[in-house]
Amino acid sequence: MPSQEEYEATLAEELEVLESIYIDELEKVSSEELRIRIEPEEDVLPLLFSIGLEPGQAPTESVEQSSPSPIVLSLHIQYTSEYPDAPPNMSIHVVRDTKGVLGPKTDDSDEADADSDAIDRPAVTELQAGLDEVAQESLGMAMVFTLASHLRESVTTLIQRRVQEIEAQASAKREAEIEAEAEKFRGTAVTPERFAEWRVRFLQEMAEREKKEEDAKLSKLSAKEREDYKKSKVKPSGRQLFEKGGTLEDDDAEEDGAQEVDWSLYTREQRERERREQEEQDELQSRTDGLAFDDEDDD
C-alpha cells in the first residue's frame, strides 16, 4: 500500500496529465473525484447521424456542421487510498443517446445531471465490464487515461456493431415487405385437383345465377304465361315425338329455325296489343278470302 505522500503525488501527477489531454472534457469534482466526458470517435459519427433515415434521405446533422454527438458518456472516477495498487471506483453514466443505440432513449441533459442515469442498460453493463478488466490489467500504475481511452474505443466499436444490426433489421424488413407485395401477384399454382374443385364451385355458381335470372323473368309473367314459358323450356319425350310423327332431330331443327322470344322484353300491355293486332289481321285475311270465294261463285 503506497504512503500518503506517494498517493498524493500519484494523483497530482496524473491529474496534470489528464488536464493537458482533456482540456474541455475533464471536470474535477474534488481532489479525489473526477468526471471525464467521453464521446465516440469522429469516424463513426456519420453512421450515428444516418440511423433512422430512409434510403436516399440525407441526414440533417453532420460533423462538418459541428452537430453535437448523438452519444455522450460520462466516466466517473473516485480514487481510493490503495490506488494505483487497486482500481478506483468507476461508473459510466449516459449523458446523451438521441439515437437509442445504448438502449431506451433518454432526454438530452447536461453533464451535471448524469448522476441520475442508473446503469441498467445492457450496453452500458458491457462497457463497464470492459473497464473492470482493463483496470485489473493496469494495477500498479496510473490508469485513468488508459481507462478513458479504452471506454472511447469500446463505445465506438459498440456503435459500429449496433449500426450493422440496425441496418440488417431494416434490410430484412424491406425484403419482407417486397416479398409480401410480390406474393400478392404470384397467385396459386394450378393443379388438376385444384382445377376440379374450382370447376365444381364455378358450375354451382353459374347454376345459382341462372336460377335467379329465371325466377326474375317468371315473376314478371302471369300464371298462364309462366305455364306456357315452362312448357316451351321442356323438350318432348321420345314417345311424344313418335305420337306426333316426328323425331328428336326434326324437333331440334324446328327449334333451330324458330326465333326465341325474350319474354322479359315485353310488358303485359304490349303482348295484349300484339294479340289484338294479330286477331285483326286474321279477321281481315278471312274477309279477303271470303270475297275471293264469292267472285268464283258468280263466275
- The predicted structure's pLDDT at residue 116: 41
Q: 159-188 b/e with 16+ CB inside 10 Å = b?
A: beebbeebeeeeeeeeeeeeeeeeeeeeee
Classified as helix, coil or strand, 104 is: coil
More confident residue, 262 or 211: 211
CA dihedral 140, 142, 146, 151 (to 10 degrees): 90
Cα–Cα distance, 206 to 197 (Å, whole number): 14
**How many residues are given for the chain?**
299
pLDDT, tens digit, for every residue of 196-225? 888 899 999 999 998 888 888 888 888 877
Classified as helix, coil or strand, 220 is: coil
Cα–Cα distance, 128 to 147 (Å, whole number): 10
- The predicted structure's pLDDT at residue 26: 95
Q: List Cα–Cα distances, 106 to 40, 49, 113, 215, in angstroms.
A: 18, 17, 12, 71
Cis bond upstream, residue 192 (ω within 30): no
| Mean pLDDT of the residues in the chain | 79
For the cut 60, the answer to whether the pLDDT of residue 263 exceeds it is no
CB neighbour list of residue 50: distance below 8 Å, 6 or more residues apart: 59, 163
Closest Cα partner for 154 from 138, 137, 132? 132
Residue 75 has phi, psi (to 5 degrees) of: -95, 115
Cα–Cα distance, 287 to 283 (Å, whole number): 6
- The predicted structure's pLDDT at residue 267: 64
Give the Cβ contact number of residue 79 at 10 Å.
22
- The predicted structure's pLDDT at residue 56: 66
Contact 94, 69 (CB under 8 A): no
- The predicted structure's pLDDT at residue 112: 40
Q: How far apart are the first and last CA of the chain?
A: 164
Cα–Cα distance, 117 to 35 (Å, whole number): 14
Classified as helix, coil or strand, 188 is: coil
For the cut 70, the answer to whether the pLDDT of residue 85 exceeds it is yes
Q: Which of 5-9, 114-118, 164-168, 197-201 has the lowest mean pLDDT?
A: 114-118
For residue 106, what pLDDT band results from cuts at 50, 70 and 90?
A: very low
Classified as helix, coil or strand, 90 is: strand
Domains in the chain, CATH or no CATH each: 4-181 (3.10.110.10), 221-259 (no CATH)
Percent of the chain with pLDDT over 70: 75
